[in-house]
Amino acid sequence: MRSLQGDAATIAGFLKTIKGPIVLVGHSYGGAVITNAATGNRNVKALVYVDAFAPANGESVLALDSIKPGSALGAGPTKVFNFVPFPGAKKGDAELYVKPAVFEQAFANGLPAKQRAVLAATQAPVVSTAITARSGTPAWKTIPSWYVLGTIDRAIPPAIQLFMAQRIHAHITRVKAGHLPMVANPSVVAKVITAAAKATS
């Protein structure tokens, strides 16, 4: 979660080492990464988005999260994130950690309190320019897609997820979960991934 272009290039490079068919899965910001990383790779047979961003060409993650109301990020960056400087950062750039209270209420809602606290404390940061970077040619234009939609997600509200899922003509599976359905209901996510693999094999 350092830069969209760099993260996508890293995954794209790794994918080239795999000779067989690939089902590529992305969660949250990771959806933008797989959208870019899979472009042009014929071995990627399916994309699975799990409460994830599926940007079109020129869109950023942050901009997508504001196309409809309801996201916790709408409260404003300083109320949502702790900004932490890091070596080599461009001027004005920083690592963003979701404030613990916001993380528990908007990213890990629906999970037990103890688990929410652990997840908030162990979260990985995202670099601010990664979520404002413009996406490139989307792989979902040519690769079949599946979408797991968390119906109580407050980080990427269901309405925004549905807009993206419908736009990419994804097979949609709704699950009563917040932003982390792979934690709240992993069996549903596993079934969707398996279905994508079977449908494209």
What residue ranges define each of the domains in the chain, with the CATH number in brackets? 4-199 (3.40.50.1820)
pLDDT of residue 4: 98
192: part of which helix (H) or strand (E)? Answer: helix 186-199
Closest CA to 135 of 51, 44, 30, 49: 30
Q: Which two tokens stand for residue 5?
A: 């272009």
H helix or E strand, kind and range, residue 199: helix 186-199
Check if the beta carbon of residue 25 is closer than 8 Å to that of residue 17.
no
pTM for this prediction: 0.96
Taking each helix axis as running N to C, give the angle between helix 29-37 and helix 4-15, from 0 to 180 degrees, rounded to the nearest 10: 50
pLDDT at position 19 is 94
Element (H, E) at 78: helix 77-80
Which stretches of the chain drop beneath a pLDDT of 70?
Answer: none
SS3 99: coil
pLDDT tens by residue, 76-95? 888 999 999 999 998 989 99
State the Cα–Cα distance between residues 124 and 96, nearest whole angstrom. Answer: 9
d(CA 144, CA 21) in angstroms, rounded, equals: 13
- pLDDT confidence of residue 75: 82
Distance of alpha carbon 17 from alpha carbon 6, whole angstroms: 17
